[in-house]
């Protein structure tokens, strides 16, 4: 039987203390299923969406082993490598490690592009326990001789599906070739398409396989609505909705492309609405400044792509606008989940043009509910609304939207007897 609470896990006292301080009590399904075998040294193949608690699922057992088996670290090396597709996700993992390892003498460093490499080279000079990295910058620093991956004991490959979508498969293969064969490997993906399974077979050895079904419900404190509208009229409706926001209220607008988010932010500023875009073409320093201004309210509207929005955690967002409907229905759940937090009510409005009706159909099928239609605007398309409603069933009647509700084995590797030369750093990274 899987444990149900963090207290039931065989984790060290300093980690349990950090979890109590954050009021972490109940385990998510992936944590309950993944942590026990990971503590035993097993490889793991996990199929789980973002937001299911998988960062804690791999961070806690790794921190526990590092704490129970302290070792001197050679210069430029790391005991753990966590590979992520984006800078935001790397930062998010780093923050989790800082939280869970608050009372541990364990050090981590972040390595990603978009910022100068100087501080990252300095952080790795004496070696770290955990290195969280994006593929491109990691390979750059390896080739320059600043990072040595030959001592990695734990390898975590996170969000593999997105990694492949972003064209990193060749880089991942090169990185894996640099790792020692004797290691514990963890592999996480939101889907298990054939290319992903084939890649997993080259990385994992006799893994425990865990599949967590995607969320099918949306945040219960979010009021959802759909606006049927021509694509050319979306900007006008967006300006109208944003100007109806109260002073000090924050909104996130989702665009499908980087170029589209830039154009949209410029249009909003011309309309008198302060907005900034955040996407993969902006440097990390630019993203950080934009997020700080957004959190403080000096820029009340953030225009984001799905990839860039990962790791954006601002609790006071009152409105999410899907300017472009996502072509992956799971992304809808994660988008609107950025409002309606901590007991506060939020609003999520989505614009659906004739070209996007199939996306809407997929979203409603996933969340198993009908999103209420908003027709109180000048650009409403009744024909499109009727066509969508009639496509749901033979009767052609719109269902009443129901309220949503809160989703050959290697020996075990514990490295008890390995010791390496080198010295610890005087302060945490």
Residues whose CB is less than 8 angstroms from the CB of residue 19 and which lie 6 or more positions away in sequence, other chains included: 6, 11, 100
Could you give the CA distance from residue 327 to residue 319 in angstroms, rounded to a whole number?
21
CATH class of the region 222-390: alpha beta
- In order along its 429 residues, the chain shows pLDDT tens digits of 678 889 889 899 999 999 998 888 889 899 999 999 999 999 999 998 766 788 999 999 999 999 999 999 999 999 999 999 988 889 889 999 999 999 999 999 999 998 899 999 999 999 999 999 999 999 999 999 999 999 999 999 999 988 887 889 999 999 999 999 999 999 999 888 888 999 999 999 999 999 987 655 556 679 999 999 999 999 999 999 999 998 889 999 999 888 999 999 999 999 999 999 998 777 778 888 998 899 899 999 999 987 666 656 677 899 999 999 988 787 888 888 888 766 678 899 999 999 999 899 989 988 888 999 999 999 999 999 999 998 764 333 333 333 332 333 343 444 333 334 444 443 343
Q: By C-alpha distance, which of 213, 241, 268 is closest to 351?
A: 241
240: β partners = none
What distance in Å separates the CA atoms of residue 293 and residue 276, rounded to the nearest whole number? Answer: 9
CATH topology identical between 6-211 and 222-390 = yes
DSSP string, 38-85: HHTT--EEEE--TTSSHHHHHHHHHHHHHHHS-----TT-EEEEEE-S
Give per-residue burial for 11-29: e unless 16+ CB within 10 Å, then b.
Answer: bbebbbebbeeeebeebbb
CA–CA gap between residue 22 and residue 29 (Å, rounded):
19
Tokens for 144? 């320059």
Helix (H, G, I), strand (E, B) or coil at 114: coil
Residue ranges of domains in the chain: 6-211, 222-390
Cβ(174)–Cβ(203) under 8 Å?
no
* Partner residues linked to 210 by β-bridges: 46
pLDDT confidence of residue 411: 38
Backbone angles phi, psi at 5, to 5 degrees: -130, 155
| pLDDT value, residue 166 | 83
Q: What is the pLDDT of residue 337?
A: 83
The pLDDT value recorded for residue 425 is 44
Q: Which residues of 132-146 are buried (b: 16+ CB within 10 A; e: fewer)?
A: bbbbebbbebbeeeb
Q: Write out the DSSP string of 234-303.
A: HHHHHHHHHHTSPTT-EEEEE-SSHHHHHHHHHHHHHTT--EEEE-TTS-HHHHHHHHHHHHHTSS-EEE
pTM of the model: 0.61
Structure tokens at 378: 């000048």
Q: What confidence score (pLDDT) does residue 50 get?
A: 67
- Class of the 6-211 domain? alpha beta
**How confident is the model at residue 407, as a pLDDT?**
32
């Amino acid at each position: 039987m899987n444990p149900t609470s963090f207290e039931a896990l065989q984790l060290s006292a300093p980690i349990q203390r950090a979890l109590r301080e954050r009021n972490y009590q109940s385990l998510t399904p992936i944590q309950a299923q993944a942590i026990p075998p990971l503590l035993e040294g097993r490889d793991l193949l996990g199929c789980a969406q973002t937001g299911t608690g998988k960062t804690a699922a791999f961070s806690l057992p790794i921190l526990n082993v590092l704490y129970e088996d302290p070792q001197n670290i050679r210069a430029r090396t790391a005991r753990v490598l966590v590979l992520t597709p984006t800078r935001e996700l790397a930062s998010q993992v780093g923050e989790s490690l800082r939280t869970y390892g608050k009372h541990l003498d364990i050090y981590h460093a972040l390595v990603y592009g978009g910022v100068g490499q100087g501080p990252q080279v300095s952080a790795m000079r004496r070696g770290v326990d955990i290195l969280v990295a994006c593929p491109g910058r990691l390979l750059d620093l390896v080739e320059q001789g600043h990072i040595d991956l030959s001592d990695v004991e734990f390898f975590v490959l996170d969000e593999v599906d997105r990694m492949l979508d972003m064209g990193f498969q060749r880089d991942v293969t090169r990185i894996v070739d640099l790792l020692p064969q004797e290691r514990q490997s963890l592999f996480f993906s939101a889907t298990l398409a054939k290319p992903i399974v084939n890649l997993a077979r080259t990385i994992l050895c006799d893994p425990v396989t865990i599949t967590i079904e995607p969320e099918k419900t949306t945040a219960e404190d979010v009021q959802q609505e759909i606006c049927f509208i021509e694509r050319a009229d979306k900007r006008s409706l967006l300006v109208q909705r944003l100007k109806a926001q109260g002073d000090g209220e924050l909104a996130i607008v989702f665009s499908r492309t980087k170029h589209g988010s830039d154009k949209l932010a410029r249009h909003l500023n011309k309309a008198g609405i302060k907005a900034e875009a955040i996407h993969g073409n902006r440097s990390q320093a630019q993203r950080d400044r934009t997020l700080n201004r957004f959190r403080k309210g000096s820029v009340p509207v953030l225009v984001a792509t799905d990839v860039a929005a990962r790791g954006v955690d601002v609790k006071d967002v009152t409105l999410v606008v899907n300017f472009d409907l996502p072509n992956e229905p799971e992304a809808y759940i994660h988008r609107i989940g950025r409002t309606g937090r901590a007991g506060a009510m939020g609003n999520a409005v989505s614009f659906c043009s004739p070209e996007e009706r199939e996306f809407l159909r997929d979203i409603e099928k996933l969340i198993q509910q009908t999103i209420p239609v908003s027709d109180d605007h000048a650009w409403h398309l009744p024909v499109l609304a009727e066509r969508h409603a009639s496509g749901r069933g033979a009767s052609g009647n719109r269902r009443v939207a129901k309220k949503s509700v809160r989703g050959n084995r290697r020996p075990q590797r514990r490295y008890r007897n390995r010791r390496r030369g080198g010295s610890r750093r005087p302060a945490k990274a």
